[in-house]
Amino acid sequence: MCIHCDYTTLLTASGLEATVNRIHILETIGNNNCPLTAVDIFNIVDRTQSMNRVTVYRILDLLVEKKILERLNVGSKAAYYGLAPNENHAPHPHFYCTECGQMDCLNSESININADRLKKSFPGEIQKVEVRVDGICKNCLKQHGN
Amino acid sequence: MCIHCDYTTLLTASGLEATVNRIHILETIGNNNCPLTAVDIFNIVDRTQSMNRVTVYRILDLLVEKKILERLNVGSKAAYYGLAPNENHAPHPHFYCTECGQMDCLNSESININADRLKKSFPGEIQKVEVRVDGICKNCLKQHGN
DNA sequence: GACAAGATGCAATATAGTTGCATGAGCAAA
DNA sequence: TTTGCTCATGCAACTATATTGCATCTTGTC
């Protein structure tokens, strides 16, 4: 997904050490074209480099806090992680298939959002607006259809 | 929150028995002005009517499936449940305070969403568009501020 | 009342994420 | 190079959330 992001730079720019584990996790997410759960990430990373489950959770938490990753949520299930919006990635909505559980990135132009009204009147601080489209993906529709 | 919805009618219209437990759960959610977690609902209901935890989960799942309730999700935490959009309730976005975990309903006009483009081009079936605003609520801002 | 279908309860289990504490790696001053 | 510090990681135990299987109870219908 991301041939533009230099993970080492991303990490050091946020004041984090660019450790092997962090790079592996970022590469795993970046090489995938859709967000992954912590368990997915652990399984993929652990195939080649042994890494502790807890370390995965801790790195994910840290990178979300530093806004290098974004956490996406969906019905009562595990959170998904993808690269956070940055100069190479516009913020974009996600599609979640309620049949197969697949999460996909949608084009940033596919949905138009205007939160100006809210931003003007809201008495708290707004950090982000997350848009998730739920439905049934093409593949599942095909399998069910006939 | 909802003095307009007749829960018994809502249930039977979906082909469900209007059991005491289901009514209690719907009343609990409807009387609250913001979405609640399954644990919240269990605690509230169980104070007056003894009800099994599992029953709460099962009823919530069922009512979400029948689109009487909607399930809202947030970072790695328990799901929240609110009344689903219907003739008395326009679909609306939600605000989630990352400090205190409070979830609130926003006015349906506060954010303008246009998904026409997606709906035209998307190859699957779109069931709903969920919008969640994350940030820090007024109260938490005040406490932190000074 | 007897029956069937569906609802509920209970115990056990599964899944996701967190915590506390010990160890290890990397860096920097002496 | 050694010492000491800081931060990263590992491991085991734990918590929170949700689900399953099976037994029992309720409700509506005849």
pLDDT digits (tens, 9 = 90+) for A87-142: 888 899 999 988 888 899 998 888 888 888 898 899 999 998 999 999 999 988 88
pTM (2 d.p.): 0.88
Q: Name the residue closest to the C1' of C8 by its CA.
A: B55
- Cβ of B140 under 8 Å from any chain A Cβ? yes
Q: Per-residue pLDDT for B76 more than 70?
A: no
Average pLDDT over chain B reads: 89
Cβ contact B134–A111 (<8 Å): no
Of B115, B121, B127, the CB nearest to A134: B127
**Nucleic strand D within 7 A of Cβ A125:** no
Please report the beta strands in chain A, taking only residues with DSSP state E, as ranges in sequence order: 36-37, 69-72, 80-83, 94-97, 103-105, 112-114, 125-136
A37 and A73 in contact (C-beta within 8 Å)?
A: no
Shortest distance between the Cα of A119 and any Cα of chain B, in A, equals 9
A39 and A78 in contact (C-beta within 8 Å)?
A: yes
Q: Provide, for chain B, the percentages of residues in helix, strand and coil under a 3-state DSSP scheme, each rounded to the nearest 5.
A: 40, 25, 40
Q: Name the residue closest to the C1' of D10 by its CA.
A: A52
- Cβ of A39 under 8 Å from any chain B Cβ? no
Nucleotides of chain D within 7 Å of a protein C-beta? 7-13, 16-21, 27-28
pLDDT recorded at residue B2 = 64
A1 CA, C26 C1': Å apart:
31
Confidence band, pLDDT 50/70/90 cuts, at residue B101? confident
- Residue keyed to tokens 């309620």: A98
Q: Tens of pLDDT along A41-75?
A: 999 999 888 899 999 999 999 999 999 999 998 86
Which amino acid belongs to residue B39?
A: V
B78 CA, C12 C1': Å apart:
22
**Nucleic strand D within 7 A of Cβ B119:** no
B106 and A118 in contact (C-beta within 8 Å)?
A: yes
- Cβ of A145 under 8 Å from any chain B Cβ? no
Nucleotides of chain C within 7 Å of a protein C-beta? 6-12, 15-20
